[in-house]
Amino acid sequence: MRRLRQAPWVRGLVAENTLTPADLVWAVFVHDGEGRVPVGSLPGIDRLSVEEAAKAAKRAESLGIPAIALFPYIGPEGKDEEGTGAVDPDGLVPRAVRAMKAAAPGVGLITDVALDAYTSHGHDGLLDPDGTIPNDATVERLVQQALAHAKAGADVVAPSDMMDGRIAAIREAFDEEGFTNMMILAYAAKYASGFYGPYRDAIGSAQSLSGDKKTYQQDPANSDEALREVALDLAEGADMVMVKPGLPYLDIVQRVSSTFGVPTLAYQVSGEYAQIMAAAQNGWIDGDRVIMESLMCFKRAGASGIITYFAEKAAETLGA
């Protein structure tokens, strides 16, 4: 077996999987202010102004990164119980989408459809007085949010809320409004995970979150349930599906991709990024090597694409 490992040229020749910038989706945070604002729990990651986000789109284009996934930071003044800012046609995300599309029309823009950045309670949906998340009322708000993003020029909406039936409702609304070519990337297998902490810091929902999200996100103990979730979202009109988190859930990525044979993305989430960066900064691991190895692991598991905060750095490495 070692004969085929003895030199870089032969290792590359017989490699079963390859990683290119075309496999990456760059996760980017935007804020409604000026310049760049560091995210303390995500070393090296900044929230970007609309102007800086447009520059990031140009940067993605130059590196061969095909798409950017956009996530908003909304300050306390922009939050309320109903998450009404999420449906504002002139809100942060629609303005960022328009600016980024003007700067780099060929870069795909994927927008997050969920209310957690906009609600004062930090949940992905509305909140009843008894603390429950009303499914159908939340779906109505999510449909309005998805339409606002489509009208701004987004290429893909990615509902990450895990409400039942929201894919069908969004698809129906798109068809009725003439957005028949809008793509839907369903967060079909999104788990109630502890790996999301730095992300919630980045979008400003960590301090406001009341309770947990276990009544609507999946139980980490379950695998078969993920296949049922994916089957439902595909039947309702999803074009692509997502598994989240990433590395701790590669078994789910493999099962989904092999079972359904549809484009399956994985999200290398904030906690995964923070772990790698913290260990690298302490000198415990070779950070550059582990970044590239971790991304290759997604490909080996069957991911069609990887949403990652490492996209810019990885694309630079791959293009070197």
The CATH number given to whatever domain includes residue 257 is: 3.20.20.70
pLDDT at 208 over 80: no
**Which residues fall within 8 angstroms of residue 257, CB to CB, at 6 or more apart?**
264, 301, 302, 303, 304
Q: Is residue 1 part of a domain?
A: no
Q: Is residue 87 part of a domain?
A: yes
Q: Is residue 293 part of a domain?
A: yes
Tell me how far apart the alpha carbons of residues 167 and 116 are, in angstroms, rounded to a whole number: 18
pLDDT at 320 over 70: no
Q: Is residue 113 part of a domain?
A: yes
Residue 165 to residues 137, 229, 234, 236: CA-CA distances in angstroms?
11, 10, 11, 8
Burial class (CB in 10 A: 0-12, 13-18, 19+), 253: buried
Per the structure, the complete domain to which residue 34 belongs is given by 19-319
As annotated, the binding site for Mg(2+) includes 229
**Which residues fall within 8 angstroms of residue 7, CB to CB, at 6 or more apart?**
none
Q: Is residue 12 part of a domain?
A: no
Tokens of 40: 């303390």
pLDDT score, position 34: 96
Q: Is residue 7 part of a domain?
A: no
**Which residues fall within 8 angstroms of residue 156, CB to CB, at 6 or more apart?**
67, 108, 109, 110, 111, 182, 183, 184, 185, 239, 240
Band of residue 201 on the pLDDT scale cut at 50, 70, 90: confident
Residues with a known catalytic role: 190, 244
Task: Tell whether omega for the bond before 245 is within 30 degrees of 0, i.e. cis.
Answer: yes
Domain count within the chain: 1
Query: Alpha helix locations (H) across 219-261?
Result: 224-236, 250-260
* 127-143 mean pLDDT: 95
Q: How open is the CA angle 107-64-31, to the nearest 5 degrees?
A: 50
pTM of the model: 0.96
Task: Encode pLDDT of 212-264 as tens digits.
Answer: 899 999 999 999 999 999 999 999 999 999 999 999 999 999 999 999 999 99
As annotated, the binding site includes 229
Q: What is the mean pLDDT of the chain?
A: 96
Give CA 126 to chain center in angstroms. 21
Band of residue 209 on the pLDDT scale cut at 50, 70, 90: confident
* 144-154 mean pLDDT: 98
pLDDT at 204 over 90: no
Q: Is residue 6 part of a domain?
A: no
Q: State residue 46 phi and psi, 5-degree precision.
A: -120, 150
Q: Is residue 11 part of a domain?
A: no
pLDDT score, position 246: 98
SS3 for 46?
strand
Q: Beta strands of the chain (E only): which ranges?
A: 24-31, 36-38, 46-48, 67-73, 108-113, 156-159, 183-190, 240-244, 264-268, 305-308
Band of residue 85 on the pLDDT scale cut at 50, 70, 90: very high
